[in-house]
């Protein structure tokens, strides 16, 4: 019998609702991202965005999937990691639906969901994953029953760094695509702090140095070019070491920053050198959205994991490696 899972995502600026079947078919994936008129994302404003738009997006996703609410067999939600107010709003919607529809509730780790939707799409079995987004920067591989973080940012996420850089340069949110466009026009490379510490990396020094270049009159395109080459080079270094160490033969690029073509080019080169297969998650499944939560919900449900409403408090600091992966 086919199961229909409603997946609800809302860890940060985006709210998403998707329907995925137990066979791994994505039937719908509706989402909306809060774009602040100025400044960064305020957690309270993002949670208000989710409570205002969430119900409509869920209805749309059920309708677009061609099913009815009564056909839903389980409700999955992103329990963490993320911003507390956003997680609580999302969890409240998920709990309500699970009770109202009288179907099981499944708690999903947002980072694990990014990996599993990438595996579904690529048919990879056991990749090294580079997960890069507005809130996360991690190189992850499966070992000993868990997704282990081999390397990660010690301060800000790469997407956040690109968004803040764009803002400082007078460009709108989200900054990543604009930095990519500007970087193509750049030709002069400026040295920026290349900060890899063991398997971890740090981006805040680079951001400060890039701002300084701007105040010295260096062109926006040269700054964007230099920032991309340096920050992506750092990621490539730790991804390469993770592949060499784990000897895995698949490299997966996922998260919102996976939409970047230059990063894709650099990482596919890393994969090639190690005779690994490379896959970049398609744009509609790369960023934060509900389909990945739904698919992870299916995997978890089949492995026997679900959660009682009374135990389903959110986990803002839930780490990728803090969950036993029962389905692998």
From residue 87 to residue 126, the character string flagging contacts with Mg ion as x (rule: CB under 5 A) and all else as - is: ----------------------------------------
Q: Binding to ligand AMP by residue 118, rule CB under 6 A? A: no
From residue 302 to residue 321, the character string flagging contacts with Mg ion as x (rule: CB under 5 A) and all else as - is: --------------------
Give, to the nearest 10 degrees, the angle between helix 204-215 and helix 158-168.
Answer: 20
| Closest alpha carbon to 306 in 108, 26, 91 | 108
DSSP secondary structure, 60-90, as one string: HHHHHTT--GGG--EEEEEEESS-HHHHHHH
Binding test (CB under 6 A) with ligand AMP, winner from 174, 186, 290, 297: 174
Q: Binding to ligand AMP by residue 95, rule CB under 6 A? A: no
Residue nearest to ligand AMP (CB): 256
Task: At 82, list the tokens.
Answer: 């993320």
Residues 200 and 274: their CA atoms lie apart, in Å, by 21
Q: Binding to ligand AMP by residue 138, rule CB under 6 A? A: no
Closer CB to Mg ion, residue 73 or residue 153? Answer: 153
Q: Which entry of ligand AMP, Mg ion, none binds 259, CB below 5 to 8 A by partner kind? A: ligand AMP
The answer to whether 177 and 259 have CB atoms below 8 angstroms apart is yes
Closer CB to ligand AMP, residue 111 or residue 141? Answer: 111
Rg (CA), the chain: 20
CB atoms within 10 A of CB 88: 18
Q: Binding to Mg ion by residue 152, rule CB under 5 A? A: no
Least Å distance, CB 280 to Mg ion, is 15
Least Å distance, CB 16 to Mg ion, is 10
Q: Which stretch of DSSP H or E encloses residue 136?
A: none
The piece of 130-138, 177-185, 197-205, 295-303 that touches Mg ion (CB under 5 A) is 130-138
Closer CB to ligand AMP, residue 157 or residue 242? Answer: 157
Residues 134 and 128: their CA atoms lie apart, in Å, by 20
Which residues from 211-270 bind ligand AMP, rule CB under 6 A? 255-257, 259-260
Distances (CA, A) of 252 to 18, 76, 87, 205, 286: 22, 24, 26, 27, 11
Q: Binding to ligand AMP by residue 80, rule CB under 6 A? A: no
From residue 282 to residue 301, the character string flagging contacts with ligand AMP as x (rule: CB under 6 A) and all else as - is: -----xx-------------
From residue 270 to residue 289, the character string flagging contacts with Mg ion as x (rule: CB under 5 A) and all else as - is: ------------------x-
Sequence-ordered alpha helix ranges (H) in the chain? 43-64, 84-101, 110-122, 158-168, 175-185, 204-215, 220-246, 261-273, 283-286, 290-302
What does the binding site for ligand AMP look like in residue numbers (CB under 6 A)?
14, 133-135, 159, 162-163, 174-177, 180, 255-257, 259-260, 287-288
């Amino acid at each position: 019998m086919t199961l229909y899972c409603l997946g609800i995502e809302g860890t940060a600026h985006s709210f998403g609702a998707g329907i995925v079947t137990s066979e791994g078919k994505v039937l719908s994936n509706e989402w909306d991202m809060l774009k602040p008129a100025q400044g960064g994302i305020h957690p309270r404003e993002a949670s208000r965005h989710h409570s205002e738009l969430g119900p409509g997006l869920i209805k749309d996703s059920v309708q677009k999937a061609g099913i009815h609410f009564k056909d839903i067999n389980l409700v999955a939600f992103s329990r963490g990691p993320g911003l507390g107010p956003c997680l609580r709003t999302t969890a409240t919607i998920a709990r309500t639906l699970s009770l109202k529809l009288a179907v099981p509730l499944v708690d999903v780790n947002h980072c694990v969901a990014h990996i599993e939707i990438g595996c579904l799409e690529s048919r990879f079995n056991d990749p090294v994953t580079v997960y890069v987004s507005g809130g996360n920067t991690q190189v992850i591989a499966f070992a000993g029953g868990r997704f282990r973080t081999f390397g990660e940012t010690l301060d800000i996420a790469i997407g956040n760094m690109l968004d803040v850089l764009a803002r400082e340069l007078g460009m709108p949110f989200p900054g990543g695509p604009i930095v990519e466009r500007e970087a193509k026009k750049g030709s002069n490379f400026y040295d920026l702090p290349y900060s890899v510490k063991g398997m971890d990396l740090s981006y805040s020094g680079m951001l400060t140095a890039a701002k300084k270049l701007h105040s010295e009159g260096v062109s926006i395109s040269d700054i964007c070019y230099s920032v991309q080459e340096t920050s992506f080079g750092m990621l490539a270094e730790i991804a390469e070491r993770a592949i060499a160490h784990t000897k895995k033969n698949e490299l997966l690029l996922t998260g919102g920053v996976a939409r970047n073509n230059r990063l894709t080019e650099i990482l596919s080169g890393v994969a090639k050198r190690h005779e690994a297969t490379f896959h970049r998650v398609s744009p509609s499944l790369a960023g934060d959205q509900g389909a990945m939560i739904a698919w992870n919900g299916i995997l978890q449900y089949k492995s026997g994991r679900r959660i009682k409403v009374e135990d389903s408090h959110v986990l803002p600091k839930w780490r990728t490696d803090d969950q036993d992966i029962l389905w692998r």
